[in-house]
């Protein structure tokens, strides 16, 4: 009887211990998810209508993705050191574009260049459509190259996306340069990597600039910044930092407060019309001999350019004097046409601009023409 009583006591104590551990784990996970749900509730609320034939909207399932969203915890000494960090902005539904990138210039991200370049896709992670959410989570698990942001998407979120991207980049990497690029941009990555050591290490703002209506601005489809510029963006007063629905206008507002900067307008970047709509890009050979990149390379054009790239180091010319391209460096958001003119608002309030909830389709579908 004594032995039986001992066994009963031992079993009871074991049950209590297991129940206590399970209860602790449950409440820990619940508390963590509640914190993330609070962030979700406070996130910009423009919902995105993703390209799917299945209308399965269920906010309650968002718990599936909360633990997979990016965080901004600084890694300190454990940051990954790279010459160039590339962040490709992409919508969750843009699988075909991401796949075209993976099978072309993206391959050079892993050509023994780990200390030189890190490449990631970044997309909106608060996906209410169950079908689309499962697709992006499966793709993330398979390729391990996608990061999910605490955003619901929509046209009015480009500025917030960029802010999230640079906050995450600064927390996780020691990079010398950061490239933010669209998912329809063909990039001569090997040429770029060979050229970067010869470019300024500070104050660099590099891409395709517009010069119209007495102002200039950097197009957000391709933007390279030296690390110090990113740090200056993030060092702004959090109470007065301004956000804008379009990342390029937001960037120019921020740059207006930086005294020393070198603008590099690179004519080797084909910007418009989209490369897929330009006949010569359907037959060009050795595209990287004459270009550093081509915007609007959709579908077959991206694959064609990948096969005809001849991507390698090339001769490097000096940065041209910006004044020869544009006689001023001023920016004023008020001069844009109504389609693009929106009032900047403090970022801290998670502002919205009532731009609708549909995914931005771009020039491939006739938007923004």
pLDDT in tens, the chain (369 residues): 444 444 444 444 444 454 554 444 444 434 444 444 344 444 443 333 333 333 444 555 666 667 789 999 999 999 999 999 999 999 999 999 999 999 999 999 987 667 899 999 999 998 888 899 999 999 999 999 999 998 887 776 889 999 999 999 999 999 999 999 999 999 999 999 999 999 999 999 999 999 998 899 999 999 999 999 999 999 999 999 999 999 999 999 999 999 999 999 999 999 999 999 999 999 999 999 999 999 999 999 999 999 999 999 999 999 999 999 999 999 999 999 888 899 999 999 888 887 655 554 555 555 454
Residue 246 has a pLDDT of 93
Express the helix, strand and coil content of the chain in percent, nearest 5 each.
40, 20, 40
Residue 356 has a pLDDT of 58
Residue 365 has a pLDDT of 53
Euclidean distance between CA atoms 121 and 185, whole angstroms: 13
Residue 364 has a pLDDT of 53
Peptide bond preceding 369 in cis form (omega within 30 of 0): no
Residue 268 has a pLDDT of 98
pLDDT tens figures, 341-358:
999 999 998 888 876 555
Residue 326 has a pLDDT of 96
Residue 28 has a pLDDT of 44
Could you tell me the CA-to-CA distances from 246 to 88, 99, 192, 249 in Å, in that order?
A: 16, 25, 26, 6
Residue 59 has a pLDDT of 54
Residue 49 has a pLDDT of 31
Residue 311 has a pLDDT of 97
pLDDT tens figures, 199-230:
999 999 999 999 998 899 999 999 999 999 99
Go through the chain and tell me how many residues it has: 369
Residue 40 has a pLDDT of 41
What ranges make up the beta strands (E) of 116-261?
117-124, 146-149, 173-182, 185-187, 204-212, 215-226, 242-243
* Angle CA 240–242–246, to nearest 5: 175
* DSSP state for residue 278 in the 8-state scheme: -
Candidates 101, 100, 104; CA nearest to 120 is 101
CB contact set of 253 (below 8 Å; sequence gap of 6+) = 242, 244, 331, 333, 344
Contact 250, 156 (CB under 8 A): no
Give the tokens for residue 270: 């084909």
Q: Which residues pair with residue 146 across a beta bridge?
A: 121
> Beta-carbon neighbour count of residue 106 at 10 Å?
21
Peptide bond preceding 273 in cis form (omega within 30 of 0): yes
């Amino acid at each position: 009887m004594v032995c039986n009583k001992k066994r009963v006591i031992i079993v009871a104590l074991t049950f209590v211990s297991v129940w206590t551990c399970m209860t602790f784990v449950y409440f820990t996970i619940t508390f963590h998810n509640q914190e993330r749900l609070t962030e979700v509730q406070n996130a910009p609320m423009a919902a995105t209508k993703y390209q799917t034939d299945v209308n399965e909207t269920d906010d309650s399932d968002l718990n599936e993705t909360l633990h997979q969203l990016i965080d901004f915890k600084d890694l300190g000494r454990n940051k990954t050191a790279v010459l160039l960090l590339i962040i490709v902005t992409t919508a969750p539904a843009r699988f075909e574009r991401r796949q075209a990138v993976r099978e072309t210039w993206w391959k050079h991200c892993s050509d023994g260049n780990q200390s030189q370049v890190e490449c990631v896709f970044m997309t909106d992670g608060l996906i209410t459509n169950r079908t689309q959410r499962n697709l992006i989570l499966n793709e993330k698990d398979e390729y391990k190259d996608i990061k999910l942001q605490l955003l619901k998407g929509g046209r009015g979120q480009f500025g917030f996306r960029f802010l999230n991207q640079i906050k995450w980049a600064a927390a996780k990497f020691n990079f010398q340069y950061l490239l933010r690029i669209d998912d329809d941009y063909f990039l001569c990555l090997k040429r770029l990597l060979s050229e970067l050591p010869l470019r300024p290490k500070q104050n660099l703002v590099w891409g395709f600039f517009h010069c119209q209506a007495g102002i200039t601005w950097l197009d957000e489809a391709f933007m390279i910044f030296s690390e110090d510029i990113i740090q200056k963006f993030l060092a702004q007063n959090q109470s007065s930092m301004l956000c804008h629905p379009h990342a390029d206008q937001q960037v120019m507002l921020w740059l207006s407060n930086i005294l020393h900067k070198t603008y590099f307008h690179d004519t080797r970047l084909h910007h418009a019309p989209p490369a897929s709509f330009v006949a010569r890009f359907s037959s060009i050979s050795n595209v990287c001999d004459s270009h550093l990149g081509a915007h609007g390379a959709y579908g077959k054009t991206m694959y064609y350019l990948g096969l005809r790239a001849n991507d390698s180091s090339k001769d490097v010319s000096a940065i041209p004097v910006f004044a020869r391209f544009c006689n001023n460096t001023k920016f004023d958001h008020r001069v844009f046409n109504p389609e693009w003119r929106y009032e900047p608002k403090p970022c801290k309030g998670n502002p919205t601009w009532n731009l609708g909830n549909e995914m931005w389709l771009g020039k491939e579908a006739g938007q923004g023409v």
